[in-house]
Amino acid sequence: MTDITMPRLSDSMTEGTILTWLRADGDQVTEGDELVEIETDKATMTYESPVTGVLGIVTGAGETVPVGAVIARAGAEAVPAASAPSNGHEPEPVPVAIPARAAGGPAVTPVARRLAREHGVDLAAVTGSGPRGRITRADVAAAAGIAVPAPAAGVARPCPAAVAPAAPAAPAAPAAPAGETRDLTRIQQVIARRMSEANAAVPDFQVQTEVAMDRAVSLRAELKASGVGVVPSLNDFVVRASALALREHPVANGSFRDGRIELHGHINIGIAVAAEGALIVPTIHDADQLSVSEIATESRRLAERVRDGSVSPAELSNGTFTVSNLGMYGLTAIVPVINVPQAAILGVGAVRAVLARDESHEIVDRQLMTLTLSCDHRILYGADAARFLAAIKELLERPLRLML
- Amino acid code (one letter) for 369: M
Do 340 and 202 contact (CB within 8 A), yes or no? Answer: yes
Residue 95: the pLDDT is 42
Residue 153: the pLDDT is 37
Q: Please tell me which residue, 185 or 312, carries the higher pLDDT value.
A: 312
Terminal CA-CA length for the chain: 55
Show Cβ contacts of residue 114 under 8 Å, excluding neighbours closer than 6 positions. Answer: none
Residues classed as catalytic: 377
- What size, in residues, is the chain? 404
**168 secondary structure, DSSP code:** S
Residue 152: the pLDDT is 38
Do 347 and 334 contact (CB within 8 A), yes or no? Answer: yes
Alpha carbon distance 17, 241 (integer Å): 38
| Average pLDDT of the segment spanning 127-132 | 73
Residue 359 has pLDDT above 90, yes or no: no
Q: Please tell me which residue, 17 or 390, carries the higher pLDDT value.
A: 390
Rounded to 10 degrees, the C-alpha dihedral 134/138/144/145 comes to: -150
pLDDT for 291-303, tens place per residue?
999 999 999 999 9
Show Cβ contacts of residue 140 under 8 Å, excluding neighbours closer than 6 positions. Answer: 112, 115, 116, 119, 121, 123, 126
| Average pLDDT of the segment spanning 77-97 | 46
- What structural domains does the chain harbor? 2-144 (2.40.50.100), 188-403 (3.30.559.10)
Q: Please tell me which residue, 247 or 84, carries the higher pLDDT value.
A: 247
CA atoms lying within 13 Å on the CB side of residue 185: 16
Residue 159: the pLDDT is 37
